[in-house]
Chains A and B, each alone.
Chain A
Amino acid sequence: MRKGLTWFNITSIVLGFAFLYIPILLLVIYSFNASRLVTVWAGFSTQWYWALLENEQLMDAAWVTLRIAFFSSLVATVLGTMAALTLTRYGRFPGRTLFSGMIYAPLVMPEVITGLSLLLLFVAVNFDRGFWTVLLAHITFTMCFVAVVVQSRLVTFDRALEEAALDLGCPPFKTFFKITLPLILPAVVSGFMLAFTLSLDDLVIASFTTGPGATTLPMRIYSQVRLGVTPEINAVCTILIAIVTVVVIIASVMTKRAENQRQAEERAAMTG
């Protein structure tokens, strides 16, 4: 069989990537446009990035978004890791199947439904909507992603390592921080980064659960675009794309490296 690139392969790759990235590329290019008219190219300029700094509305929204993304993914990481530990470790406790099903449900749940039900909850308990409600909502919907990532690592974790620590006189709580956590850390960190990027670009759930004074960046962009696309929006989106890309690349490199190391260790163990 012929290996390498055939005409068919080249065509599919070009078409596929064009489909995925031409819109984004266009956006990035126009963010460097000197003209105020979005669709007319008038030479290279970084003025819209400087203009961004002056645009308080956008800057405020960006700050709110970053804070929400950071704190929600932090809490989601702790809760998701705990859920993953419980699901992989504590055997068949009553309700385990129900619990594991329920933790994955938000993965496939339409965002509109998650957002709407959270809104109903906050209204029912008379919780003033704003920064905190968006934060809570984001914890809710990103936690399950963390749980999935961490659980997949824990499945291959050798329990004998923890037993060895216990056997050597290390109490369970300390064992978790000395042995378990360092070994699953790459998975926990990539879970955190996944949660961070999900929170960063969420529009639907944030719109449902937000209130006055807590407009996130995606919401601000969306509302401004309805009045017409400005080059400033292009610039802010480019920055957003850059952040998400960097975070995703770091996360996948970390996961890959941890995976490679584990495989090397396993190979070494097998061949003795």
Chain B
Amino acid sequence: MAADKARKETIGAVRRSFAPWTDPTKTPLIRFENVVKRFGDFTAVDHVSLDIYEREFFALLGPSGCGKTTLMRMLAGFEEPTEGRLTLAGEDLAGVPPYRRPVNMMFQSYALFPHMNVEANIAFGLKQDKMGKGEIDARVEEMLKLVKLEKFAKRKPHQLSGGQRQRVALARSLAKRPKVLLLDEPLGALDKKLREETQFELMDLQMDLGMTFLIVTHDQEEAMTVADRIAVMNNGVLVQVAPPSVIYEQPASRYVADFIGEVNLIEGTITQASHDETRISSPVTRFPLVVAQTVACKAGDTACIAIRPEKLRIALEPPADPSENLFEGEIWDIGYLGDLSIYHVELACGQRIKVSQPNLSRMVARPISWDDKVWVTFAPHAGVVLT
């Protein structure tokens, strides 16, 4: 128990202060420099520059076909960049074949060798390195223990469950202690509950092994949970690279705001742009809107406010605090999820916004019901101005 607590405290300390990307003296482990990849006329990856640091858990997030997998496959060596440079620990990877790169990949389909048992699958990479038999056996045993599959060493892949196969694939890709572990949609085939558990296991594993993990996923929750930093990709371009909380709270564009989580976008015109305060008038409400943010715009520019549903509040009475931003509307629909209620509010202009409220007390009869006139408010620091 004491050891557990001590371990947890160290991990906590490392996690709290881990931000090598803010430290200009640190050299990145992986550098994509203006990397372009074209397949015929199609540009899969378009001038991507990206630095990934040692011990980082980095996520590439985007819809299917956005180029995230191609980016990862270039690092593994299955694709060569059409233009640009890719370095790993200062070494240019151009022309280095996949079997000579110090990176290993966990495949989406797991790609376990069906004709080999669990042990042989894990030992496969080690044998290629001409490692001694004793050493291989010891490492295989260590890996089996790590993924808790000691009892299944002699089984063939088709005799395992999906979750077990996923662990074998993980053990196999970790066995060679690569400089970087690449995970291609590693949890896609697992059911929701197992997936959530495994996400936390992956995080602990990455911490304990002190390795650099690069994960490709289209599941934003997964990326938010596991990653130190997320790169959001769209159409082969990096849209934003930042820690999960920044991606969520300060999205750089409408695309990011919309892609990550739920968002209400309120269009308007900037009436005043001063330090730490932007005033916007919008056709959706007769009240002026204030956002506590400095923007590089001037009065008269069009802009939009992105506001998350959970940062809006809903009430039957107008608020007492005059500094709050205010909308008037009517309840259009209510979704009761148990822990939360989602209110769809139709504003006077016809636009509908989503408000989510935690159901803090047990109340069978709802205080707010269909067709009620409601007031929706948010604090100046709750929204983000996007141009």
Given contact pairs A163-B98, A264-B158, A271-B162, A168 touches B128 in the complex (Cβ within 8 A): yes
Given contact pairs A163-B111, A164-B107, A272 touches B176 in the complex (Cβ within 8 A): no
**CB nearest to A170 among chain B residues:** B128
Instruction: Please indicate the chain B residues that have their CB under 8 angstroms from the CB of A169 in the complex.
Output: 99-100, 125, 128-129, 176
Instruction: Please indicate the chain B residues that have their CB under 8 angstroms from the CB of A269 in the complex.
Output: 109, 162, 165, 189
Per the bound structure, the CA–CA distance linking A165 and B97 in Å amounts to 12
Per the bound structure, the CA–CA distance linking A168 and B162 in Å amounts to 22
**Which of B76, B114, B115, B190 contacts A167, CB < 8 Å?**
B76
Contact A167 B104 (CB under 8 A): yes
Given contact pairs A158-B109, A272-B162, A272-B191, A166 touches B114 in the complex (Cβ within 8 A): no
Contact B176 A179 (CB under 8 A): no
Which residues 213-272 of A sit at the B interface, judged by CB distance below 8 A?
261, 264-265, 268-269, 271-272
**Which of B104, B158, B172 contacts A265, CB < 8 Å?**
B158
Instruction: Please indicate the chain B residues that have their CB under 8 angstroms from the CB of A261 in the complex.
Output: 158
Instruction: Please indicate the chain A residues that have their CB under 8 angstroms from the CB of B77 in the complex.
Output: 166-167
Min C-beta distance of A227 to chain B, whole Å: 54
Instruction: Please indicate the chain A residues that have their CB under 8 angstroms from the CB of B124 in the complex.
Output: 165, 168, 170
Contact A167 B162 (CB under 8 A): no
* Chain B window 102-121, contacts with chain A (Cβ cutoff 8 Å), 1 for yes, 0 for no: 01110111010111000000
Contact A160 B129 (CB under 8 A): no
- Judge if B287 is at the interface, Cβ distance under 8 Å: no
Contact A160 B128 (CB under 8 A): no
- Judge if A204 is at the interface, Cβ distance under 8 Å: no
Which residues 117-139 of B sit at the A interface, judged by CB distance below 8 A?
124-125, 128-129
Per the bound structure, the CA–CA distance linking A86 and B115 in Å amounts to 24
Instruction: Please indicate the chain A residues that have their CB under 8 angstroms from the CB of B163 in the complex.
Output: 272
* Chain A window 167-194, contacts with chain B (Cβ cutoff 8 Å), 1 for yes, 0 for no: 1111110000001001100000000000
Which residues 125-157 of B sit at the A interface, judged by CB distance below 8 A?
125, 128-129, 157
Contact A163 B107 (CB under 8 A): yes
- Judge if B78 is at the interface, Cβ distance under 8 Å: yes
Min C-beta distance of A181 to chain B, whole Å: 10
Min C-beta distance of B169 to chain A, whole Å: 9
**CB nearest to B122 among chain A residues:** A168
Instruction: Please indicate the chain A residues that have their CB under 8 angstroms from the CB of B162 in the complex.
Output: 269, 271-272
Per the bound structure, the CA–CA distance linking A261 and B77 in Å amounts to 32
* Chain B window 159-173, contacts with chain A (Cβ cutoff 8 Å), 1 for yes, 0 for no: 011110100000011
Given contact pairs A166-B97, A272-B191, A183 touches B114 in the complex (Cβ within 8 A): yes
Per the bound structure, the CA–CA distance linking A167 and B128 in Å amounts to 11
Contact B98 A161 (CB under 8 A): no
Given contact pairs A167-B99, A271-B162, A161 touches B111 in the complex (Cβ within 8 A): yes
**CB nearest to B104 among chain A residues:** A167
Given contact pairs A167-B104, A169-B128, A268 touches B158 in the complex (Cβ within 8 A): yes
Per the bound structure, the CA–CA distance linking A161 and B113 in Å amounts to 7
Per the bound structure, the CA–CA distance linking A163 and B169 in Å amounts to 13
Contact B109 A171 (CB under 8 A): no
Instruction: Please indicate the chain A residues that have their CB under 8 angstroms from the CB of B114 in the complex.
Output: 161, 183, 265
Given contact pairs A163-B98, A166-B97, A265-B158, A158 touches B111 in the complex (Cβ within 8 A): yes
Min C-beta distance of B293 to chain A, whole Å: 45
Instruction: Please indicate the chain B residues that have their CB under 8 angstroms from the CB of A271 in the complex.
Output: 162
Per the bound structure, the CA–CA distance linking A272 and B167 in Å amounts to 13
Min C-beta distance of A158 to chain B, whole Å: 6
Per the bound structure, the CA–CA distance linking A25 and B190 in Å amounts to 57
**Which of A171, A179, A265, A268 contacts B99, CB < 8 Å?**
A171
Per the bound structure, the CA–CA distance linking A169 and B101 in Å amounts to 8
**Which of A167, A172, A182, A268 contacts B105, CB < 8 Å?**
A167
Per the bound structure, the CA–CA distance linking A226 and B104 in Å amounts to 69
Instruction: Please indicate the chain B residues that have their CB under 8 angstroms from the CB of A264 in the complex.
Output: 158
Min C-beta distance of A268 to chain B, whole Å: 5
Min C-beta distance of A189 to chain B, whole Å: 14
Which residues 179-218 of B sit at the A interface, judged by CB distance below 8 A?
189-191
Min C-beta distance of A157 to chain B, whole Å: 11
**Which of A165, A171, A172, A265 contacts B157, CB < 8 Å?**
A265
Per the bound structure, the CA–CA distance linking A182 and B103 in Å amounts to 26
Contact B99 A170 (CB under 8 A): yes
Min C-beta distance of B119 to chain A, whole Å: 14
Given contact pairs A163-B111, A166-B98, A169-B176, A272 touches B161 in the complex (Cβ within 8 A): yes
Instruction: Please indicate the chain A residues that have their CB under 8 angstroms from the CB of B172 in the complex.
Output: 164, 168
Min C-beta distance of A182 to chain B, whole Å: 5
**Which of A161, A163, A168, A272 contacts B78, CB < 8 Å?**
A163
Q: List 21 A-B contacts (CB under 8 A).
A: A163-B107, A164-B107, A164-B111, A166-B99, A167-B98, A167-B103, A167-B104, A168-B124, A168-B128, A168-B172, A168-B176, A169-B100, A169-B128, A170-B125, A182-B115, A268-B158, A269-B162, A269-B165, A271-B162, A272-B161, A272-B189
Sample of 16 further A-B pairs with CB below 8 A, known A167-B98, A265-B157: A161-B111, A163-B111, A164-B105, A165-B113, A165-B124, A167-B104, A168-B124, A168-B173, A169-B128, A170-B125, A179-B113, A268-B160, A269-B109, A269-B189, A272-B190, A272-B191
